[in-house]
């Protein structure tokens, strides 16, 4: 694991030194270098430490809220099925919502529908509401 962290920090330095950001919009799905993370935080894979993310909310031309996707089909209150029209079902992990700098994205995969986007927004809002079932 230590080697992965060292590789990620080198990659992260390259990302920070990029002179450009991609243009992104809400509802788009991008490959994103999210890194080698700690504990149960979702990690990126491969040489770019990447995974697809949905742009949930754009705040500026520099940053957005992104939700990582996985091809593992999961169910429950923290997971939303996503279809990008390529025949491969994915799951958005809403509990892994993250503020992401546009320097981290590098290849657009597609878009989600307005309906799927609204479902994701509602799932994130539901995460923020008090729940009487929690400790």
Residue 135: which pLDDT band, with cuts at 50, 70 and 90? very low
Which tokens sit at 125?
Answer: 């809002």
Least confident range from 9-23, 82-96, 108-122: namely 9-23
Range picked from 77-81, 85-89, 128-132 for highest mean pLDDT: 77-81
For residue range 91-126, what is the model confidence (pLDDT) as tens digits? Answer: 999 999 999 999 889 999 999 999 999 999 999 999
pTM, two decimal places = 0.82
Domains (range + CATH), the chain? 2-128 (2.30.30.110)
CA distances (Å), 108 to each of 16, 23, 37, in order? 19, 10, 23
Which tokens sit at 38?
Answer: 């700690």
């Amino acid at each position: 694991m230590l080697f992965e962290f060292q590789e990620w920090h080198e990659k992260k330095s390259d990302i920070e030194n990029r002179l450009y950001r991609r243009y992104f919009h809400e509802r788009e799905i991008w490959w994103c270098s999210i890194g080698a993370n700690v504990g149960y935080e979702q990690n990126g894979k491969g040489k770019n430490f990447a995974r697809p993310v949905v742009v949930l909310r754009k705040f500026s031309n520099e940053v957005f809220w992104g939700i990582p996707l996985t091809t593992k089909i999961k169910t429950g209150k923290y997971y939303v099925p996503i279809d990008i029209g390529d025949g491969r079902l994915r799951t958005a992990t809403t509990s892994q919502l993250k503020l992401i700098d546009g320097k981290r994205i590098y290849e657009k995969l597609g878009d989600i529908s307005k309906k799927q986007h609204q479902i994701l927004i509602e799932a994130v809002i539901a995460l923020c509401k008090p729940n009487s079932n929690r400790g």
